[in-house]
Amino acid sequence: MIRAHAVRHSVRRIRALLTPALALSLCASQASAQSATREACTGGSLMACVRVDLTAAATVDGTSLLIAVSHLGVFDPLVLATQPSMVWSLAFSTGRDADPDLIAEREALVGATGSATLNNAAPWTFVDYGDQWALMFPSWSDPAFTTLGIGSAVPLSGTAVDEFGNPWQQIGTTGADGAITFAVSLPYALANPLDWFQIIGLEAQSFEITENEIRLGSAGSCSPDAHCGAVPPPTAVPEPATLPLVGAGLLMLLTIAHRQRMLPLGTLL
């Protein structure tokens, strides 16, 4: 009995010592993981918009970064909602100082979440400038490249060719309920929290579909010199049941105005 009591006492002492350590370890793990959401639109007439969810977690070797991009569509009134478009590069500010000695290209592994579709999982290029991050399609520096981009909910069923003969293709589509993801391993801990990060660059392209070909339509971009815009608020659309009421109200107002114009001046006084 004495030996069993001693064992139980030792277990309780070990638990008492381990519990604070486990709590600190859990808090440290939670503190090392962070996330932020950013939205932005290209300038110009195209106004292609994205939502980007950034997630970062500390690892033994540095930081695990996940960039989830949702192409929200195009808000140019001259571009039909049924026309496909795509975003083909993104840039973020990091709040750090630029360091030419630390510029590096890294591989961004591609995936999809939610309702997004993915038909080309080739890794993208992640360029780390220190003060900026740039996310670009693979082979972007090759003069004979195929321009790949993240499509909105409208798929591009085919390949468009620009005036230089270079093909353009979507790697998949997202819409508001899905995202194309890019996973990057950084060999360092983030100097600033993700709340400091902003979208400072965005390039997009729309396409015109004809019976015989797919042509490039409007293009849009923003950069540190031409700031990205905000996503416009949703436009309120009347419910079908309210449209007859609105029409009846307008008809009544027109009838009253017509009668007042027909009455003699003395009857209005």
Using CA atoms, how far apart are residues 173 and 69, in angstroms rounded to an integer? 10
The answer to whether 107 touches 165, Cβ cutoff 8 Å, is no
Antiparallel, parallel or unpaired: β 147-151 and 167-173? parallel
Q: What is the pLDDT of residues 147-196, one digit of tens each?
A: 999 999 999 888 898 887 889 999 999 988 999 999 999 999 999 999 99
Q: Name the pLDDT band for 204 (thresholds 50, 70, 90).
A: very high
Q: φ, ψ for residue 240 (rounded to 5)?
A: -55, -35
Asked whether the predicted pLDDT for residue 240 surpasses 80, the reply is: no
Q: Which amino acid is at 151?
A: G
Q: Which amino acid is at 95?
A: G
Asked whether the predicted pLDDT for residue 23 surpasses 70, the reply is: no
pLDDT in the model for residue 242: 52
Q: What would the mean pLDDT of 197-226 be, rounded to a whole number?
A: 89
Minimum mean pLDDT range among 16-30, 149-163, 234-248: 16-30
Q: φ, ψ for residue 77 (rounded to 5)?
A: -65, -20
Q: What is the pLDDT of residues 250-269, one digit of tens each?
A: 556 556 555 555 545 454 34
Q: Which amino acid is at 190?
A: L
Dmax (CA) of the chain: 115
Q: State the chain's mean pLDDT as an integer.
A: 80
